[in-house]
Amino acid sequence: MAKAKGNSRVNPTAGGEGFWDRPALMNLASDLLFLAAGVLLAWAGAMALQRLPVLPLKQLVVTSSLDNVSRAQIEHTARTAISGNFFTVNLEFAQAAFEKLPWVRRVDLRRRWPDGLELNVEEHQAVARWTSLEGEARLVNSRGEVFVATTKAPLPSFSGPEGSSPRVLARYQEFAEGLATIGRKPATVHLSAREAWQIKLDDGVVLELGRDQPKAPLAERLTRFTTHYATAKARLQTVGVVDMRYPNGFALRASKS
């Protein structure tokens, strides 16, 4: 019978130490467990704090004077968009709700210790009515931005392609400055899809300026009109349209009325 040539044993830890024999690895695992426990504890505390009547919100302080946004609009938005307590209120959500109100351009909403919120509202300052070529009536603010709102205030009217309101406002300011020399104001300013400009004055005269060109800029045409306006007005008792698209002069058409 053959005999075994010696005993063979297998060491389960051969080739490296086990987990329990590696202090550095155990410390790392311990740190991770403590970190996870801390995160869970913080989350549980936040959830508990949200449910407890701790530092409830009692007041909303409006720090800006409002001309077009009503107190009723502010109160309704506050009731529907503000929830939670001093710590848990979602400021971004509430701020976005206030900025959806008509006439509101921008809102700054902050916590006010210990039980309130502070609301600062920047309103649109309307300078003109805006009608795009698609026909939707809106308003233009002092920055040339179009916004949806209504007003009974007497304002000039702008129209043009969508997105052209800043350009129209800038031209309106130039036209108003030039026409002030003859005591007139632009009542309407229109920019066509082909980049042609038209002005209707406050006395009903329509001024066809055409397209702005390097050799015949709009400012030059407007100056030519204001220089000869008194003479043209005297020759035609009622001027309807003044066509300034000629290189060195202009044509007059009497009003149909």
Based on the fold, state whether residues 161 and 116 are members of the same structural domain: no
Number of domains in the chain: 2
pLDDT band at 89 (very low <50, low <70, confident <90, very high): very high
Q: Are the C-beta atoms of 225 and 244 separated by less than 8 Å?
A: yes
Average pLDDT, the chain: 85
Based on the fold, state whether residues 148 and 220 are members of the same structural domain: yes
CATH number at residue 92: 3.10.20.310
Does residue 22 lie within any of the structural domains? no
For the beta carbon of residue 84, count every other beta carbon within 10 angstroms.
13
Buried b (16+ CB within 10 A) or exposed e, 149-185: eeeeeeebbbbbbeebbebbbebbeebeebbeeeebe
Please give the span between the terminal C-alpha atoms of the chain, in angstroms, as a whole number: 136
pLDDT band at 237 (very low <50, low <70, confident <90, very high): low
Based on the fold, state whether residues 87 and 196 are members of the same structural domain: no
pLDDT top residue among 165 and 44: 165
Based on the fold, state whether residues 221 and 113 are members of the same structural domain: no
Q: Which of 106, 123, 140 is the last residue of a domain?
A: 123
CATH number at residue 134: 3.40.50.11690
Based on the fold, state whether residues 138 and 241 are members of the same structural domain: yes
Based on the fold, state whether residues 82 and 155 are members of the same structural domain: no
β-strand 186-191 against 157-160: which pairing, if any?
parallel
Distance of CA 29 to the CA centre of its chain: 50
Based on the fold, state whether residues 131 and 225 are members of the same structural domain: yes
Render pLDDT for 10-64 as a digit per residue (tens, 0 to 9).
454 444 556 566 667 666 767 777 777 777 777 666 666 555 567 789 999 999 9
Structure tokens at 58: 């009692």
pLDDT top residue among 257 and 8: 257
Based on the fold, state whether residues 210 and 141 are members of the same structural domain: yes
Based on the fold, state whether residues 119 and 162 are members of the same structural domain: no
Residue 222's domain comprises 126-254
